[in-house]
Amino acid sequence: MNTETMRFKITLLSTILLLVGLSSNGSLGAQHESGNIKDIGKGIITPTTVVVLAEINFGAFYPGDLGGTISVDPRGFLTVTGTTRSLPIGGIPSPITLEIKSRPATMIQVVFPREILLYGVNGGQMVFRPGPLEYGNVFVSPMNAPDGFTVNMGGTLEVGTVNENPPGDYFGSFSFTIVSE
């Protein structure tokens, strides 16, 4: 059994969409409980920002004769299927950690692609499926987080046979969109 490690570098890029209401006179505003439109900070809107604090780590593993999947959930728990085997080297499995800064009680939706191809430096490709997110894909920012809050995101790697996925580093990147309102 070949015990060379497989390492992954997945670069995350984010795009922010901010949705706000427009009053009848065209100024930026929000719906007040009384039904009146009021300006938010005289037209200045605090944007939602996202910083990737940690990339996903699947640890080291061996694909086996038939391959399988290896998943890390938002809490960092590792699940392996098929003939893929986790190895006790290569670091502790961990999820992607995002730091999100937004106004309190902002509804946030995270949109990411279903599949991302990772390319091996020694040949081979693997499919990475991002998700799930710790709080689901749609959540409300906490009231008590003026300096931001963290959200963890897991992911699943589809692993082929050892011939399809030779040991070595695999790289890929993907963008995700944050929709906040």
How confident is the model over 38-47, as pLDDT tens digits?
A: 344 444 556 8
CA distance 147 to 160: 42
3-class DSSP string for the chain: CCCCCEEEEEEEEEEEEECCEECCCCCEEEECCCCCEECCHHHCCCCCEEEEEECCECCEEECCCCCEEEEECCCCCEEECCCCEEECCCCCCECEEEEEECCCCCEEEEECCCCEEEEEECECEEEEEEEEECCCCEEECCCCCCCCEEEEEEEEEEECCCCCCCCEEEEEEEEEEEEEC
Average pLDDT value for the chain: 77
* Res 71: pLDDT: 97
Q: Where are the domains of the chain?
A: 6-180
* Res 18: pLDDT: 35
CA-to-CA separations, 131 to 121, 166, 179, in angstroms, rounded: 25, 25, 16
* Res 166: pLDDT: 87
CA-to-CA separations, 100 to 53, 96, 124, 135, 141, in angstroms, rounded: 10, 13, 34, 13, 9
158 vs 19: which has the higher pLDDT: 158
Q: What is the rounded average pLDDT of the residues 154-168?
A: 91
* Res 157: pLDDT: 94
Tell me the pLDDT tens digit for each residue of 92-138: 899 999 999 998 999 999 998 999 999 988 899 999 999 999 999 99
Tell me the pLDDT tens digit for each residue of 63-75: 889 999 999 999 9
